[in-house]
Structure formats: C-alpha cells, structure tokens
Amino acid sequence: MQFVIKKEHLLKSIQAVINAISSRTVIPILTGMKIEAKNNHIILTGSNSDISIQCRIPKMIDNEEIISNIEEGSIVLPVPHFPEIIRKLPENKVKVTTNNELITKIESGNANFILNGQNSNEYPKLPLQQNNVDFQIKKKDLKQLIKQTVFAVSTMETRPILTGVQVSLNKNELTFTATDSHRLALKKIMIDEANVEELSYVIPGKSLLELDKIIDNNEDLINVTMLDNQVLFHHEGFYFLSRLLTGNYPETDRLIPTTSETKINVNKKQLMETIERAALLADREQNNVIRLDTLQNNKIKISSHSPEIGEVKEEITIQSLEGEELNISFSARYILDSLRTIEDEQIEIDFTGAMKPFIIKVPNDPSILQLILPIRTF
Amino acid sequence: MQFVIKKEHLLKSIQAVINAISSRTVIPILTGMKIEAKNNHIILTGSNSDISIQCRIPKMIDNEEIISNIEEGSIVLPVPHFPEIIRKLPENKVKVTTNNELITKIESGNANFILNGQNSNEYPKLPLQQNNVDFQIKKKDLKQLIKQTVFAVSTMETRPILTGVQVSLNKNELTFTATDSHRLALKKIMIDEANVEELSYVIPGKSLLELDKIIDNNEDLINVTMLDNQVLFHHEGFYFLSRLLTGNYPETDRLIPTTSETKINVNKKQLMETIERAALLADREQNNVIRLDTLQNNKIKISSHSPEIGEVKEEITIQSLEGEELNISFSARYILDSLRTIEDEQIEIDFTGAMKPFIIKVPNDPSILQLILPIRTF
C-alpha cells in the first residue's frame, strides 16, 4: 500500500473515525485504525462494540488533488500513535508506505516514522453497503433531535432499553423520545421524503452523542437506513453505524397528561437563573429538590433548603398564571437539563396537581415536549 | 455584622481566597470562608495546612463607594455555597446580614438566601501583621521565577525537601532553584531593594503554583517577609502566607558542570516540535526516553523507538555544533518541560559526554539555567 496525501484532509477524517476506537475493546484488532488505499480514495475505519465510523477521502476535491501516488492495499495501524503522528507532522504533505511485513513508513519533511501494523484481513467486515435509504434528514435537524432528547435517557443499566432514544417514523413525521422513567423528552420533525411508511427502533444514547459530535450543523441531507439490528447514517464519504437496543420500549403516549390544572408562561432565561440559584442550596442527597409555589398577581416563588447549610427563596413575576393554586417539588437538575435544550425565549409549563407529571412546552411549537415527574417531599 | 457591597469586588476577592480552602481539611472550621466587617473594609480569609490567603476590600476605591451600611462583626460561611451564591446573584448589589445565632442573610434583587454560619472565634489566628519586609519584587518577576523553576520540583514524598523551591537572596540577587534529582531548574533575578543581606528557605512547590494563579502579571511590587517558618507575600489588601519546608536543601552548585565537550545552538521551537514528534513513539514505560546524535554539517538526529509500536527519526539542521561527537539519551518529558518555560527563541545546550548532566541555557542571559540528567539505555 502507498499514497501521498494532504495532512489536513487525512487529519479531519482521522478525528471523526477515532471516536469509534477504544483501547478497552476485547478484540485486539479494534484498538487500531484500518486504512485502505483504493484506486480513487483512501478509506479510514474505526469500530467498537457499539458503533463503527468510516470516512472515505476522495482523490480529488473541487478539482484539487488531495491524494497521489496510490498503490492499493490496506493495513491496521495503532491508536493513538497513528493519529498523534499525523497531527504533529512538520509539513502538510505526508507519504504512507506499507511493505509485506506490515511495516508502515510515514514520511513528512525530515520526519520518518515506522509503525508496526496489523493485518487488515483480521479486521471485521462492516455492513456499510448502502442499497436503499429509509429516509433523509438535514444534519442540523438530526442534531436538534439528538440535543433535545438524549439528555433524558437513563444512565442505569437496570432497564437497558431506557439507555436509548426511541426513533419512530410515521409517514413523514419523525419522532425522537427518551425517558429514564423520571422524565421524558420528545421532539418531532417533519422530513421531506421517506421511502418507508413507518419504522421504530431504539438507538443507544451514547451512539447518538458520538454522532452529534461528528456531524456538522448544516443543511446537508444525511441518509438513514436500518440494516439488521443496526442503523447506518451516511452522507457522501461518511458512514456511521450503530447497534440498536433490543427490547420493548415503553408506551410513552399515555404518560403524557392531556389536561392541565395550572398553566404558567414564563421567560426561560429568568426561570433558569432563578432555579440555578435555588439549586445552590438544594439538598444534593435528595436529588436537588426545589419547590415552586404559585402566588397572587402573576408571581411564583422558587425555594429550596438544605438542612445543615441554609435555605433560599425568590419570587419572580411571570408572563401569565392560570388555574389552580399549586405547591410542587421537583428536581432542579431535571428541569435545568430540559430548559437548556430549548432555544425559544418563552416557555409554557402545564401542571396537573402536585403529584402528577408536568409538561414543559414552547407556545406555538408542538414539536417539542418535556415531561418531568414531581418529587414527594412529605 | 452587616454590609452592602458591590458583587464584582466581593467576587474577585472570593475567587482569590477560595484557593486556600479545601473540603478535605481535618479542621472543620477551615472548610468555610471567614468574613469580617470592619469600619473601613471587609476581610475575607481562607486557610489550609499549607497556605492561607486573605483579601481586604476597602470601603472606597478610586472615590467610588464599594461598601456601605457597615456594622462590624464576623462569621465563617460554608464553601462552596457562599462563593457559588455570590457568583449567581441576580444584581450587582448584595446585602449580607448576620444575627446573634450565626444565621446569615444574603439579599440581592428578589433572591433571599439564609446560610448557617460558624463562630469566627473558632477560626485560627493568622500571623498577617506586617512589621518589616525582607525584600520587594515585581509581580511579573515573581511569576517568572515560579514558572521557570517550579515544574522541576519532585512530586514524590520520599524526600519532602525536594517538593519545594529553594529561595535564596544574596545581596540583591534572588535565586529560585528546584530539583527532583533527575533535573534542575534555576532562575536568578536582580531586585531593586532588600532589607536583609541574605536569606534562604524552601517554599512548597504547590504553594507557589497557587500564588502564581492569583497574582497579576504586572509591574506592581509585592512584599516578601519570612515569619517563623512561614513566608508572607503581601501587596495592598492581599496577603498570601505559606508554610516553609524544613530540612537541608541539597547543595546544587556542584551538580552544575563548568566545562562542556559538545555545544549546540538551536531554535527552540524547531527543537521542541522535533522532540514532541519523537516522544510520540518513545517508550512510555521507560520514562519517554529519546536519543540525540550529532551528525556532520551542523545537523543533529533525534530518534526514539517503542518495541511493540515502532520508531521515529528526524534530522534537523541547527545554528551551530561545536566540540565532540555525541550520542546521548534522555527523557523527552524533562526536556519539553524545560523548553516550554523558556521565552527566548534561541537556546544553547552544553553537553559533557553521554553520562553527564547537560545544561540548557539562553545565550547572553545567564539568569536562567536548566539541567537534565541523561538516561542510560544499555
């Protein structure tokens, strides 16, 4: 194998692929990065038990030659050494050459590296052929779906299915749902075109966080395809494959109250800052519980206390307050996690009594819904 | 106790003082921050077994009233709660009030906090009265002395004295020396005025790192005074007290070779980058050892290898190479630590054979000297 490549392009792909490589894998070959030289492109692959990432760098980009002197072949090189070497090369041009003994030479300027590679035949085959596409979605929409739901997945392995985000497509409506059974986050987006009527599967939250790190926040469409118990995200030379979680995802629809007894409209930033202050003295051992009381004249009071340390209370005037008087306690962390993902300035919260879940919505935007269970404090 | 203060000034002092407060202290009162209201200023104090920091905020700064409504008194408030509360207050004006039961009210805008304080009578007395001053030094010079030496202190407790930096004053020449017995860093600075002929003591490296974090990089003079086994740094309302290490500091003068057999002059950045590349394949279990060989025509070769992974070599052309041929091995980490603290672009390295310590100097600046012991590789 041999090729000469511009470092900046190689590095960009390495930085995406490296996210799939873990030193803790039980399969030794997966601690390395697979490099393949093909006639017209270079392919980099990384993989672990959850995700695989592949980047294909074309020989030409916008009429500029990125790769030259290609002799086909493949090798698996050690991580983090190979990425670190490329990152620190003295010049933008780098030559990579492999001999029959898997010895790989990396040359740039006066720097000469020799790395002991592994045989790429031992590297698992990944199902990255893309025969059909279930649906396409804009990268920025996919990032928003992830951001507004993934924080609510469970981090406990007691119910593994809850560590994932449920993805369901119904006609052109794509819904992401996450819940850890104490809170729920739901976001819908209409997509332009789908090749399937409906689908539903659960992607590990960690996979989506990795995907979010790598994809750009732009209008480009990314292809999404389910392939026997895996899901493939694909755009141009970029492939991201994640395993799916098996098991029945809870039916979350019936958890969501349809009526409300108390409804408030409030400025998101003001509410967040007030809750952040209250959280300072919320009892950390009791899930950071804070209390919200409705008052007269469109006011609410946010308070909390920590037995040994002290207490805090703050009254704020809100935009509107309708319905029953309310005294409710809930986790400051849960509501802050939720509010941080909302981009709009005004939010609505619908309560159905102190013991029932409440809902955070954006007025006039039914695509987003956050649900939080209160905490009993007596 | 009572006062009304501008948050920005209170916060600046809190952020300095908090560096001395540790939750791991064995003396419960020291987990808190002491606040004293005096007629004309507010005093904040934090302390642990190594250092104490005190900030005095005057009532007036540049004819602007910073503090008002003062009623004298004192209290010890819980950390991190008190600092976090001040940081997150909704308005710039904050009122602090303490009652006889040590209950402290903090009010800003609509936010009302109540903190359970501790009795300040239990707080240890600190010897911060400043009767005389041993010497004065510019803050930026003090920061440079710290930066160019402290990295070389030992991190092992086997010889506690080596975890400190030796400070010695001889007439107007102030010298900081640090060594972990594998390397040594020395920096001298001439000071304008000293009230003592000579002094010598050893300040814990960790204390100097904390001091460096807090003091500004400017021309202001800071007063330095030794007070029975402690050293006090003091400027205007700022006091930093550190314990000193007891024991005999090794006589480092005789470690420093006075002759050299091989001398190189090299661009610092070029050498650093080459060594950083070589370090990527240096054997991490063998102290990141790399090798330097002199070549013909003002060239040197930097190389290293890691048995399982691979090897690297790079030839660079340097400014000058005088004396004997040399093949020497040393720790990449030690030389990089050293080079990173040098601000000049050109450096000189004086070698006295492959088994003797070598010296890194700045041509025409005898105030800085770094020494590194080579590593035997056979």
- pLDDT tens digits, residue range A141-200? 999 999 999 999 999 989 999 999 999 999 999 999 999 999 999 999 999 989 999 999
Residue A116 has its nearest CB partner, among B89, B273, B308, at: B308
Per-residue pLDDT, B378? 62
**Which residues in chain A are closer than 8 Å to B311, comparing Cβ atoms?**
113-114
Specify the higher pLDDT residue, A25 or A74: A74
Q: Indicate whether B241 pLDDT > 90.
A: yes
Q: Which residues contact A311 (CB under 8 A, 6 or more apart)?
A: A281, A303, A304, A305, B113, B114
Residues of A near B (Cβ–Cβ under 8 Å) read 78, 81, 84-85, 88-90, 104, 109-116, 273-274, 276-277, 280-281, 308-316
Q: Indicate whether B140 pLDDT > 90.
A: yes
Residues of B near A (Cβ–Cβ under 8 Å) read 78, 81, 84-85, 88-90, 104, 110-116, 273-274, 276-277, 280-281, 308-316
Using an 8 Å Cβ cutoff, are B219 and B138 in contact? yes
Going by pLDDT thresholds of 50, 70 and 90, the confidence category of residue B101 is very high
Instruction: Return the ∠ at Cα B97 (arms to B92 and B98), rounded to 5°.
Output: 145
Chain A residue with CA closest to B283: the answer is A81
Q: What is the mean pLDDT of residues B240-266?
A: 94
Question: Inter-chain contact A316–B88, Cβ cutoff 8 Å?
Answer: no
Secondary structure of residue A63 in the 3-state scheme: coil
Measured CA to CA, the distance from residue A164 to residue A152 in angstroms comes to: 9
Q: Indicate whether A301 pLDDT > 70.
A: yes
Residue A280 has its nearest CB partner, among B81, B274, B276, at: B81
Question: Inter-chain contact B115–A310, Cβ cutoff 8 Å?
Answer: yes
Residue B116 has its nearest CB partner, among A277, A280, A309, at: A309
Residue A310 has its nearest CB partner, among B114, B281, B311, at: B114
Find the range with the poorest average confidence among A120-134, B178-192, B302-316: A120-134
Shortest alpha-carbon distance between residue B70 and chain A (Å)? 23
Chain A to chain B Cβ contacts (< 8 Å)? 91
- What's CA A190's distance to the chain center, in Å? 19
Q: What is the mean pLDDT of residues A248-257?
A: 91
Measured CA to CA, the distance from residue B37 to residue B56 in angstroms comes to: 10
**Which residue shows structure tokens 């330095």?**
B224
Measured CA to CA, the distance from residue B99 to residue B97 in angstroms comes to: 7
Please give the mean pLDDT across all residues of chain B. 95
A3, burial (CB in 10 Å: exposed 0-12, middle 13-18, buried 19+): buried
Peptide bond into B80 cis (omega under 30): yes
Residue A308 has its nearest CB partner, among B111, B116, B281, at: B116
Find the range with the poorest average confidence among A210-219, B7-16, B279-288: B279-288
Q: What is the mean pLDDT of residues A105-109?
A: 98
Peptide bond into A80 cis (omega under 30): yes
Q: What percent of chain B has pLDDT over 70?
A: 99
A contact test, residue of B312, B316, B317 with most A CBs within 10 A: B312
Question: Inter-chain contact B88–A273, Cβ cutoff 8 Å?
Answer: yes
**DSSP line for A142-158:** HHHHHHTTGGGS---TT
Chain B residue with CA closest to A271: the answer is B90
Instruction: Return the ∠ at Cα A199 (arms to A196 and A203), rounded to 5°.
Output: 130
Chain A residue with CA closest to B79: the answer is A309
Measured CA to CA, the distance from residue B106 to residue A112 in angstroms comes to: 63
**Which residues in chain A are closer than 8 Å to B110, comparing Cβ atoms?**
314-316
Q: What is the mean pLDDT of residues B342-361?
A: 95
**Which residues in chain B are closer than 8 Å to A316, comparing Cβ atoms?**
110
The pTM score is: 0.92
Chain B residue with CA closest to A115: the answer is B310
DSSP A274: H
Question: Inter-chain contact B312–A277, Cβ cutoff 8 Å?
Answer: no
Per-residue pLDDT, B202? 98
Q: What is the mean pLDDT of residues A66-91?
A: 97
Going by pLDDT thresholds of 50, 70 and 90, the confidence category of residue B228 is confident
Going by pLDDT thresholds of 50, 70 and 90, the confidence category of residue B377 is confident
Residue A88 has its nearest CB partner, among B88, B280, B311, at: B280
Measured CA to CA, the distance from residue A92 to residue A112 in angstroms comes to: 14
**Which residues in chain B are closer than 8 Å to A313, comparing Cβ atoms?**
112
CA distances to A48, A159, B148 from A154, in Å: 21, 8, 48
Measured CA to CA, the distance from residue B200 to residue A240 in angstroms comes to: 62
Using an 8 Å Cβ cutoff, are A245 and A163 in contact? yes
Per-residue pLDDT, A130? 67
Q: Indicate whether B121 pLDDT > 70.
A: yes
> Which ranges constitute the DSSP H helices of chain B?
7-17, 81-87, 139-147, 205-214, 268-279, 332-340
Per-residue pLDDT, A193? 84
Residue B110 has its nearest CB partner, among A308, A309, A315, at: A315
Question: Inter-chain contact A110–B315, Cβ cutoff 8 Å?
Answer: yes
Residue A309 has its nearest CB partner, among B81, B110, B309, at: B81
**DSSP line for B10-31:** HHHHHHHHGGG--TT-SSGGGG
Using an 8 Å Cβ cutoff, are A38 and A13 in contact? no
For B22-66, write each residue's pLDDT tens digit: 988 889 999 999 999 999 999 999 999 899 999 999 999 999 999
Per-residue pLDDT, A97? 98
Measured CA to CA, the distance from residue A44 to residue A14 in angstroms comes to: 7
**Which residues in chain A are closer than 8 Å to B315, comparing Cβ atoms?**
110
Q: What is the mean pLDDT of residues B190-214?
A: 95
Q: Is the ipTM of this complex over 0.95?
A: no
Question: Inter-chain contact B112–A314, Cβ cutoff 8 Å?
Answer: yes
**Which residues in chain B are closer than 8 Å to A88, comparing Cβ atoms?**
273, 276-277, 280
Find the range with the poorest average confidence among A138-147, B245-254, B283-292: B283-292
Per-residue pLDDT, B285? 74
Please give the mean pLDDT across all residues of chain A. 95
B contact test, residue of A283, A297, A312 with most B CBs within 10 A: A312
B contact test, residue of A277, A290, A304 with most B CBs within 10 A: A277
Going by pLDDT thresholds of 50, 70 and 90, the confidence category of residue A22 is very high
Shortest alpha-carbon distance between residue B92 and chain A (Å)? 15
Per-residue pLDDT, B283? 80
Domains defined along chain A, listed by start: 2-122 (3.10.150.10), 138-250 (3.10.150.10), 256-372 (3.70.10.10)
Per-residue pLDDT, A287? 77
Question: Inter-chain contact A88–B277, Cβ cutoff 8 Å?
Answer: yes
A contact test, residue of B110, B118, B284, B298 with most A CBs within 10 A: B110
For B156-170, write each residue's pLDDT tens digit: 989 999 999 999 999
Q: What is the mean pLDDT of residues B297-314?
A: 95
Per-residue pLDDT, B130? 67
Chain B residue with CA closest to A315: the answer is B110
Going by pLDDT thresholds of 50, 70 and 90, the confidence category of residue A378 is low
